[in-house]
Amino acid sequence: MQPSPPPRISLANLPTPLERLDRLSAEIGCDLWVKRDDLTGAALSGNKVRKLEFLLGEAEAEGADTLVTCGAVTSNHCRATAVAAARRGLASHLVLRGAEPDLPDGNLLLDRLVGAETTFITHAQWEDRDALMAQIADGLRAAGKTPYVIPEGGSNAVGAWGYIAGAGELSQQADAQGVDVRRVVHAVGSGGTTAGLALGLADHAGVEVIGVAVCDDRAYFEEVVRRIQRGCGASASFTILEGYKGVGYAQATADELAFYAHVARTEGLILDPVYTGKAFRALYEELRAGRMEREGATVFLHTGGIYGLFSFASELDAVL
Ligand SMILES: Cc1ncc(COP(=O)(O)O)c(C=O)c1O
C-alpha cells in the first residue's frame, strides 16, 4: 500500500452510523447490521463521497478548477461529483451515457441544479469514454481552465483511499459497539469500493469482503478490483458474487421491487433498484439459503443511490 494517503478534503458527514437490523436478523436467523453510507450527506450522499474526499484533495492540490467525469445519465457518481464541485467552488463537466431525457429527474435534475455541463453519448461512444474525457479536458485547457479528470465511478487508486479509510472507521465502530464483523457485503459497479474495503480490512483476518456484481460479471470485476489495488501498491482478498444482476443493469423485476418494499416496511431501510437493492437481495437470499455463513455479524454497506429510485415510480407503484 502507499506509505501515506493522498491529500484529503472533508465532504462527508462521518462517521456514518452502524445499525442493527433487528427484525430482518430475526427473519433470516442471523446477526445483520447496516453501515449507513447512504447518510454521508443529502444531495452529496452515498459511497462516492468518501472517494471524492481524496479525488478532490488531489484535484485541489493540483490547482484544478473544473472536474470532468463520466457515468450513466442516472449516475450517482456524476451527481455526487457535480454537487461536490459546487460545494468547493469548482465547475463540473459530466459525460453521460444514454439519451438526454425531455425532462430531467433524479440525479440528472440535481446535476443541472448545481450547474454541471453535460455531454450525452451513446453506448457505442461509451467504449471511448476515457479518450472523450481527455478531449474535453484538452478543450478546457485551451480555454484557460485547469481540468481534473475522474474515471468512471471515481474508481482508481486515489478514490480507493475513501474505503481504505472507511474500513478503518467501520472496524473502530464495530470494536466500540461490540459487533463481531465476519463479512461486509456491498454492491459493485466500478470496483473502487471493493478494492479499498478489502485493502482497509486486510489486517482483519476473518472478515470477508463480498461485492455483489450489479453489471458485468465476476471475472471482469476481479480484474478491475485487482488493477485498482495494484495502483495502490498492494493486494488483498475479496469475493465477487454474481447471479443477482437480474434482467440487467438498472432494470428491476416486480419480485425485486416487492422485496425492496418488504425491506422498507420492515426496517425503514430504503434500497435503490440499481445498486443497493440487488446487493441486499443477494445477501438476504444467500444467508437464507445457507450459502453465506451465518456465524458472527454480517454488515451490509449501504452505498446510497436513493435518487435512482424515482425513475422506477410507475413499476414500483404497481407492486405497492
Ligand atoms: C449507490 C451505489 N452503490 C454502489 C456503487 C458501486 O460502487 P463502485 O463503483 O465503487 O463499485 C455505486 C456506483 O457505481 C453506486 O452509485
pLDDT tens digits in sequence order for the chain, 320 residues long:
445 789 999 999 999 999 999 999 999 999 999 999 999 999 999 999 999 999 999 999 999 999 999 999 999 999 999 999 999 999 999 999 999 999 999 999 999 999 999 999 999 999 999 999 999 999 999 999 999 999 999 999 999 999 999 999 999 999 999 999 999 999 999 999 999 999 999 998 899 999 999 999 999 999 999 999 999 999 999 999 999 999 999 999 999 999 999 999 999 999 999 999 999 999 999 999 999 999 999 999 999 999 999 999 999 999 99
Residues 6+ apart with CB under 8 A from 42: none
Distance CA 73, CA 2 (A): 34
Q: Specify the residue with its C-alpha closest to ligand 1, atom 16.
A: 76
pLDDT of the residue at 2: 46
Q: Are 283 and 28 contacting, i.e. CB atoms less than 8 angstroms apart?
A: no
Q: Give residue 69's identity as a one-letter amino acid code.
A: T
Q: What is the CATH number of domain 48-154?
A: 3.40.50.1100
**Which atom of ligand 1 sits closest to the CA of residue 193?**
10
What are the grid coordinates assigned to 102, written together?
425531455
Nearest atom in ligand 1 to 214's CA = 6
Q: How far is the CA of 188 from the centre of ligand 1 (A)?
A: 6
Of all protein residues, the one whose alpha carbon is nearest to atom 3 of ligand 1 is 303
Residue type, 114: V
Burial class (CB in 10 A: 0-12, 13-18, 19+), 101: middle
* Ligand 1 centre distance from Cα of residue 182 (Å): 22
Ligand 1 neighbours (beta carbon < 6 A): 46-47, 76-77, 153, 155, 187-193, 275-276, 303-305
Give whole-number Cα distances, 311 to 6, 49, 118, 246, in Å. 36, 22, 19, 17
Atom of ligand 1 nearest to the CA of 192: 10
Q: How far is the CA of 276 from the centre of ligand 1 (A)?
A: 8
Instruction: Tell me, rounded to whole angstroms, the distance of Cα 130 from its chain centroid.
Output: 20
User: Within the chain, how many helices (H) and strands (E) appear?
Assistant: 12, 10
Topology alike, domains 18-45+156-319 and 48-154: yes
Residue 211 CA, ligand 1 centroid: distance in Å: 10
DSSP conformation class of 247: T
* pTM of the predicted protein model: 0.98
Distances (CA, A) of 91 to 126, 199, 200, 257, 306: 22, 32, 31, 36, 24
Q: What is the pLDDT of residue 185?
A: 98
Contact assessment for residue 73 and residue 41, using Cβ atoms and an 8 Å cutoff: no
18-45+156-319 has CATH 3.40.50.1100 classification: yes
From ligand 1's centre to the CA of 297, what distance in Å? 23
pLDDT for res 276: 98
For a mutational test of ligand 1's pocket, the pick from 35, 44, 48, 83, i.e. the residue with the most ligand atoms closer than 8 A to its C-beta, is 48
Nearest protein Cα to ligand 1, atom 13: 189
Nearest ligand 1 atom to the CA of 153 is 9
Across 122-268, where does the E strand assignment appear?
147-149, 181-188, 208-213, 239-241
Query: Which residue numbers are catalytic?
Result: 75
Domain boundaries, the chain: 18-45+156-319, 48-154
